[in-house]
Amino acid sequence: MKNRTLHIVSLGCPKNQVDAEVIAAILAGHGFQITPEPQAAEVILINTCAFILPAREEAIDEILQMARYKKTGALKHLVVTGCLPQRYGRALEKEIPEADLFLGTSEVPNIIQHLQEMGTDFKSVPIQQLRRSRSVVNKPDFLMNADHLRLLPPFTATAYLKIADGCSNRCAYCIIPVIRGKARSRHPDDIIREAAGLGEKGVKEIILIAQDTTAYGRDLKIKQGLSLLLQRLAVIKQIKWIRLLYTHPAHLTEDILSAMAEEEKICRYIDIPIQHIDDTILKAMNRRTGSKEIYAAIEKARTLMPDVALRTSLMTGFPGETNARFHHLVDIIRDIRFDHLGVFTYSQEEGTPAAGLSSRISEREKRRRRDLLMEEQAVISFQINRSLIGSRQECIIEGKSDRQDYPFYGRCRRQTPEIDGMTYLKGKNLTIGEILTCTITDATEYDLFGEIM
């Protein structure tokens, strides 16, 4: 298998990205040469998302785009992994004949065996002649550990750290428990070992991820699991920033917030997807929390950390979202004033309890409501960002920009990669991965501008 070229595409969330990094490390360890050029690859592997319809459409479009390299490039085999095969299994064999192999989420550690079965000589032999089925989908029970190496992007100072997989919350609209299985937490010692290893490789910021980070340790019967983990991670010398994503408002307890407030390394940033604020909608969503609990969690966070940056995710068009309930949501957004906000429209997912609910809302109306929320948030974000002008912010340098006036870009503690905008910087001879202090000199709705002190 040596010297065979491989191109990997990872779609969807950071949790998928970690899986793709594990796959890349396994294949690189068996002689594959990873190439950023898909036309030069003999094998293209697409790690997919299947959470909602737009994610599935993106995955299918990417598969069809990459399949063209069988005619125009070096491509011999197209492999599809992740959530799309896990959800649809062998049905994809007929629907997407362009792909040669479909592997579910549990097959990450077995990737090399599956490629070996395709034939080590990589001649243009149809995969159908090499195996009876083109799909391998088993129980979604894979849980990575520190022994699974990861091939990180070059020159990166930031890495995601997956502390658990699967979900046991059973939100009415969500198919993730079916695709990823029940919640499974990694042992804290194993997480600390991986985090320390990342630090030794030059990573300065770790971002904790899971389907629900605040549920960490419950399946292991560890009390206050996340807060204790945060305290242990903060001891690792090489790690300078710790960031927390995917917190469930029902599980964002005071011990977690206190740990964040007490540990300087932990970014005062919380991703708390509330989905909605109307109690009737929240109950129908099976969110296991109401508006009072959401308000209480946000108030407690802001009391303990007055400078905390809050991100949330909202859904428009869930069955039963009347005009009055939607405008209640608009009012709350104006009242709470999240620093960052994302909105997606409700997608009716087969196999979820919400799929059987009545009171449908048109796609056009869902999009209209989404756009209205984003317009409201643009005003709020602009006001919050402008209020930061003149403040000093720690910033991690990520690269050179295409702007002459601000030749570098990075992120401050209140910004998560790719979803919260960036900070453009003035400075000379800055090094990627450095964490420096800048003064904020300007701001737009989503980006900040600063000068290194």
pTM of the predicted structure, to 2 decimals:
0.92
The three-point CA angle 32-132-101 to 5° equals 35
DSSP designation for 38: G
Q: Rounded to a whole number, what is the distance in angstroms from the first to the last CA of the chain?
A: 51
Per-residue model confidence (pLDDT) at position 123? 46
Contacts of 188 (CB under 8 A, 6+ apart): 217, 222, 225, 228, 229, 232
Long-range contacts of 287-292 (CB under 8 A, 24+ apart): 287/171, 287/249, 287/250, 288/169, 288/250, 289/248, 289/249, 289/250, 291/332
Q: Give Dmax (Cα) for the chain.
A: 66
DSSP designation for 182: S
Q: Where in 35-100 does DSSP place strands (E)?
A: 43-48, 77-82
pLDDT for 386 beyond 60: yes
Per-residue model confidence (pLDDT) at position 130? 46
Per-residue model confidence (pLDDT) at position 128? 46
Angle between helical axes of 225-233 and 254-262 (0-180°, round to 10): 10
Three-state DSSP class for residue 422: coil
Q: In what order do the strands lie in the sheet with 205-209?
A: 158-162, 205-209, 241-244, 266-271, 309-316, 340-345
In angstroms, rounded to a whole number, what is the distance separating the alpha carbons of residues 145 and 26? 13
Phi then psi for residue 322, to 5 deg, are: -70, 170
Structure tokens at 136: 């391998």
What would the pLDDT profile of 96-126 be if each residue is shown by its tens digit?
A: 999 999 999 999 999 999 988 876 444 444 4
Half-sphere exposure for 131 (CA within 13 Å, toward CB): 16
H-state helical runs in 202-242: 225-233
Per-residue model confidence (pLDDT) at position 132? 55
Q: Where in 11-67 does DSSP place strands (E)?
A: 33-34, 43-48
Per-residue model confidence (pLDDT) at position 104? 94
What would the pLDDT profile of 309-366 be if each residue is shown by its tens digit?
A: 999 999 999 999 999 999 999 999 999 999 999 999 999 998 899 998 886 799 999 9
Specify the higher pLDDT residue, 89 or 274.
274
Given phi > 0 = left and psi -120 to 50 = alpha, else beta, which region is 21?
alpha
* pLDDT band (50, 70, 90) for residue 416: very high
Per-residue model confidence (pLDDT) at position 154? 83
* Ordered structural domains, the chain, with CATH: 5-136 (3.40.50.12160), 152-271 (3.30.750.210), 392-452 (2.40.50.140)
- Going by C-alpha positions, the residue among 435, 432, 418 that lies closest to residue 447 is 418
What would the pLDDT profile of 427-447 be if each residue is shown by its tens digit?
A: 888 899 999 999 999 999 999
pLDDT for 2 beyond 80: no
Per-residue model confidence (pLDDT) at position 119? 62
What would the pLDDT profile of 27-59 be if each residue is shown by its tens digit?
A: 999 999 999 999 999 999 999 999 888 899 999
Burial classification of residue 254, based on how many CB atoms lie within 10 Å of its CB (0-12 exposed, 13-18 middle, 19 or more buried): middle
Alpha-carbon distances, residue 298 vs 228, 261, 400, 412 (angstroms): 21, 14, 36, 21
In angstroms, rounded to a whole number, what is the distance separating the alpha carbons of residues 309 and 413? 9
Per-residue model confidence (pLDDT) at position 247? 96
Contacts of 78 (CB under 8 A, 6+ apart): 43, 44, 46, 63, 66, 67, 70, 98, 99, 100, 101
Question: Looking up tokens 């979900």, which residue turns up?
Answer: 167
pLDDT for 75 beyond 80: yes
Q: How is 264-325 classified by DSSP, letter by letter? A: TTEEEEEE---B---HHHHHHTT-S--HHHHHHHHHHHHHH-TT-EEEEEEEE--TT--HHH
What would the pLDDT profile of 207-260 be if each residue is shown by its tens digit?
A: 999 999 999 999 999 999 999 999 999 999 999 999 999 999 999 999 999 999
**Which H or E run includes 371?**
helix 363-387
pLDDT for 368 beyond 90: yes
The three-point CA angle 268-212-148 to 5° equals 95
What is the average pLDDT across 183-204? 96
Per-residue model confidence (pLDDT) at position 148? 95
What would the pLDDT profile of 118-176 be if each residue is shown by its tens digit?
A: 764 444 444 444 455 688 989 999 999 999 999 998 888 999 999 999 999 999 999 99
In angstroms, rounded to a whole number, what is the distance separating the alpha carbons of residues 271 and 399? 25
**pLDDT above 70 coverage of the chain, percent:** 96
